[in-house]
Structure 1
Amino acid sequence: MDFTLNEFEGELLDLGRTYAEREIAPVAAQAWHEERCPTELLRGLGELGLLGTLVPEKWGGIGSSTVGYVALLEALGSVDPSVASAWQAHSTIGSMPLLLFGNDEQRERWLRPLAEGRKLGAFGLTEPGAGSDVRSLRTRAERVSDGWVLTGQKAFISNAGTDMSFGVTVLARTGEDASGKPRFGSFIVPKDTEGFTMGPKLRGIGWKGLDTRDLFFDGVWVPDSQVVGEPGGGLGQFLSALEVGRISIAALSLGTASGAMRLALAYAKQHEQFGTPIASFQAIQFKLADMATEIEAARWLTYYAASLRDAGKPFKKEAAMAKLKASQVATAVVTEAVQIFGGAGYMLESDVARFYCDAKVLEIGEGTNEIQRLVIARELGC
């Protein structure tokens, strides 16, 4: 297996890495502590063409491979997991349903502004009583003569409430099939739609720069032109987009882990105890060696899953494996990074503490790690 980036992918990575170091790094900590989504940075990424990384040029994107996207996301995540999380949510579940299942009119009207970096995409799935158990979703879409009426609530939805957001694509129950199983549809709801409101920005222990809110739908009318694909095919659409999202979270996990390790390595080389840098102590060397090895193992899984998608081969199992492994590596690495910093790493003023707080959600978002294990087991035939 050769995951060497081609010339275009390498240029893409250099572009994103330079922007991250020059523009994102200087303000990342401040935005995180202010609990503010720095949309000016996302607009900057859009001006570089990087908000449409996975979208073909035909619809305003740049048509990168999944491997190139993963490399770019890892680089962004190593500087600021919060901004990178907003970027990846926009690029995958915020854009992929429209790209994969929308018609040309919808792609032109809704996907193009997302791909060109003029708007930020969001997808509404999770509810207060339904997350992993998707079939328990209660938000309903009832058929009326000229469209659909949505009623319900979504929880923990990212990117829908910024000054850059277009609105949200929502998964809602449309009825039941002949056997009584629920059917779902995906509906485009623009930000200014009557009856569509949002709660305040939620406060998490990490990803403080990511705008996450509860969304409320009180008799929201949606015309047929804003139904993505078949009214009963929404769940399958989302699950297809989620497979890409799992690779995305794996890449973000790599960035989080590698960023924390970079901080820990630099600190170990300059911080002295007993008259010598702590990097000379075998106990610290072993920690760093294990961290580097685990990151590299997770990297191979992640890039392999991405390469399978690029080759048009099944990648469901590999995406779940990558997400499971990489997110576990991220939480383990940031914990050891804080340990290397000691008391200084425990203080929220330190960058490594920011990475520590940002890591835990990687084991939860885009399908919990328990769900990843179920996916893997089923793909093994269990």
Structure 2
Amino acid sequence: MPDWLAALLITVLKGVLVALALLTTFAYMTLIERRLLARMQIRLGPNRVGPMGLLQPLADAIKSIFKEDLSVSGADKLVYTLAPIVAIGMALTAFGGIPAGPPRSLFGENPWVYNLDAGLLALLALTSVGVYGIFLGGWASGSKYPVLGALRSSAQMISYELGMGLSVLGLLMLVGSTNLLDIVGWQAANSWMVVVQVFAFALFIVSSFAEVNRTPFDLPEAEQELVAGYLTEYSAIKWALFQMAEYVNMITASALMATLFFGGWRGPAFLNGVIPGIADWPLVWLVLKIAFFLFVFIWIRATLPRLRYDQLMRLGWKLVLPLALGNTILVAFYLAFLRPAGWGLWTLGVLSLLALGVLFVLSDRVRALWNVPAVHPGGGDARPRARPAGGD
């Protein structure tokens, strides 16, 4: 067999295995999320199908497959069908570029599907294309609520992708490469990027929540306002594909945060003194870090209320974007003046931590400056409202 054909077959096999792993994780993530949300709300959650409810995802899959696939008379049939395929296809493809270990570490093969020099840029581009599935699905449904959800999703993605891109620009300036392996290697040689760029990480995680349409940024499918948003006219397997895309995007965002800011597939180096080589185990540490961030996604959903749409847009354009630009200027200042003068990376870490601390301390004044209303647990904003003229 020619070498190029063998390499192609191995790549296809790895892609299939990654897709199966992601879809299995998606199925059980739905169960884990429902059980965790139930515990946080002092109830039980699904526990009837199988031991401890472990067969609930299988029951949900059977239900979705065998439900009637409704045909909407006013829909553009081709685009209506292709939209969920585009969404899940881009979500699965994006995850393939995440390195899960050093080269040739899993059965003599590279633990990734593809490795590009422009790895980070490719992942951001693929996740951006996924919004086309949501927008086209809402537009092709031929209904008002899906179109409103599609427009919200498009505006939200555009707003927060700018902040997300600028938040990692300082990281790229420090590493000097967009290859994800180089970023992991830099962190192994220096320190985890979250220590040096904690302010950038805070901006990146906020942008990630908005990118994957999760609470408190789940405006495109706000049930109280838009029925189900862009999903309103979908049912059966097409609806399930959109749900798969959302959860796979969550997993990809978690893997990206772990790779960019928490050392990627490498564990804490000090553990090598306890068990030699444990910090370099492939796949294990990446899975643990992904699981932690998925828990954070669920925890935030159980904690925060949904923002209003005007609050969402103000936060993205008036707060996240300027602060991400400021972080880029901070890193440029360090590289241009402080590093040549002999100041170590700890200087940048202290400055980044101070910037985050100042933001928290002055949070009320920052909201007033940028006209971003505070949100209280009851929903809406905390600004006092005038009482009606007629009394209560």
TM-score when scaled to structure 2? 0.31
The TM-score with structure 1 as length reference comes to 0.32
Higher relative contact order (CA 8 A, sep 6+): 2
